Amino acid sequence: MNAFAFRHLPELCGKIVPAEASRLRATDEVLASWDEQALALGLGTRWRCSDEWLEASRRALLSGLDRRQDLWIFAYGSLMWDPALHFTELRRARLSAYQRRFSYLTTIGRGNAEQAGLVLSLEAQPGHCEGLAFRIDASIAEQESRLFWRREMIVGGYQPRLLPLSTPQGELLALTLVSNPGHASHAGGLSLAQEAAIIRRAQGSHGTNRDYLEQLVDQLDRLGIVDGYVQQLSGLVTGPDFLLSAPGRSNYF
């Protein structure tokens, strides 16, 4: 990984998984392994969106962009430490009118069929979300965005948008994934205590749900980002035991 890419945030050098080492870089081989996992879990062959749908979705959003220009991607969850992307620049970034929330149910990555886990999405709310912006060189933007779509839009649980970000180096427009309230994976009505109860118990093929939260907390701490919601949730997850009901199963990542 090119150290120059970390010139604005040297504290993250060595704290982000290189693309070639990521288990989430959705190459043909990785995608085939996910299909095998889904079959083993009894989800069948139609557990994910088709390759044709994924490509159509990608092109619908990105076709209007100038292919000579670099592509920016906003990271607010696992992309902050494991983007599975080749990037040339990294910036701290702020998105207005959205906040990160654990509102996306998963039964493979950080959960299972018996206990769905929760991963992050962006909910439209007053305030802002601070995260990272990754710059993808124009020469590889097609390839990288295709792999990104396979990873993040695998079941269509997000809505891809091009949204303005503020960074210390200037304003930019970035590919951003926001919540899709109409999708079966969306769980936006949970209380903070319910979210904590789920995160305590769930685990899947990528590890425990608690580890996902801890990795988020660690990366936010490195950047000096204070997110009151994440702090409260982390306190509940690591605090005393409590009994809470959790939502039913979901057959999605």
**Residues with active-site annotation:** 152
Phi, psi values for residue 23, rounded to 5°: -80, -5
| DSSP H or E segment with residue 3 | none
> Please, which residues have CB within 8 angstroms of residue 6's CB and are 6 or more apart in sequence?
12, 13, 90
51-62 helix and 141-152 helix, angle to the nearest 10 degrees:
120
DSSP string, 5-44: GGSS-GGGTTSS--GGG-TT---HHHHHHHHHHHHHTT--
CA distance 202 to 75: 23
Would you call 8 exposed, middle or buried from its count of C-beta atoms within 10 A (0-12, 13-18, 19+)? middle
